[in-house]
Amino acid sequence: MDWTALGLSLRLGVVTVVLLLPVAFVLARWLAFSRFRGRGFVEALVALPLILPPTVVGFYLLVAFGRGSPVGAAFESLVGHPLVFSFEGLVLASLLVNLPFAVQPMQNALAAIPPSVRDAARCCGLSPMAAVRRIELPLALPGIATAAVLTFAHTLGEFGVVLMVGGSIPGETRTVAIAIYDRVQAFDEPAAATMALVLLVLAVAALGITNTLARRAARRD
């Protein structure tokens, strides 16, 4: 059992969730409530990581974050080490890959709020920001929780993109998913089995939590 890898995976999951949810909420709200030309295109763009092979996503991120790219060069001059094959690079990749898992549940939850309820918030004297805080956020809470659980679980399980962008540097980029592959390659089946079981339990727990939240959301109407 590679505890360092598990710790890294959990850290990556938490950092991804904490950084991604606020950004994804703003994006989800924009997609749920605004009518503009090109909305379908933006939605497709957000959903892209769902259907693209992870290696393809990883390849493009590798190119975009590489030492020769503007993003990679800017990062390296600021921080002092390359973005690719680092934890920071992994986080950035994880944020982009998880966008659909974070945006879609929140977008659905927000779109389910009747327009009259949002109007009523304004007519009750709530400013747009107060309406977000006191009406939209609480009503979208099941969607937000689902987004968090899905993002966390998916981050733990991501393999292709992590391998492409991060490689397998112990303590820096070697996540549990990578470590399992690594152990199998080394014919260390018991270690692989233990770690696989940990991921299985986490996945089942995640599904259980999302289902409970979805049921609770349905019951309130």
Partner 1 sequence: MNDNAGLRVRMRRAAPFVLDVEFEAPAGAITALFGPSGSGKTTVLRTIAGLQPMDEARVSSGQSVWTDTAAHTWLPAHRRPVGFVFQDYALFPHLTVRQQLELALGHRPPEQRPGRVASLLQLVQLDGLADRRPAALSGGQQQRAALARALARDPAVLLLDEPFAAVDWALRESLRRELVSLQRALSLTVVLVTHDFEDVAKLASHLVVLERGAVTAAGTVEALTARNAVPGIAGWREPAVAFDARVMAHWAERQLTVIAAGDLQLEVPTIAAPVGAPVRIQLGAREVILASRRPEGLSLHNVIEARVVAVEPAAHEALRLVHLEVGATRLLSLVTADAARSLHLEPGAPVLALIKAVAVEAFA
Total interface residues for partner 1 by CB under 8 A: 21
Among residues 205, 25, 5, which one has the least CA distance to residue 133?
A: 25
> Toward partner 1, which CB reaches closer, 69 or 108?
108
> Toward partner 1, which CB reaches closer, 32 or 164?
32
Reduced to 3 states, what is the DSSP secondary structure of residue 37? coil
> Toward partner 1, which CB reaches closer, 29 or 183?
29
> Toward partner 1, which CB reaches closer, 78 or 221?
221
The structure tokens listed for 37 are 């030309």
Name residues contacting partner 1, limited to 91-150 (CB under 8 A).
114, 116-117, 119-128, 130-131, 134-135, 138-139
| 220 counts as binding partner 1 under rule CB under 8 A | yes
* Rounded distance between C-alpha atoms, residue 201 and residue 212, angstroms: 17
Among residues 165, 164, 192, which one has the least CA distance to residue 176?
A: 192
DSSP tally for the chain: helices H, then strands E? 12, 0
Question: E strands within 14-156?
Answer: none
- Shortest distance in whole angstroms from residue 137 CB to partner 1: 10
- Positions touching partner 1 (CB under 8 A) are 114, 116-117, 119-128, 130-131, 134-135, 138-139, 220-221
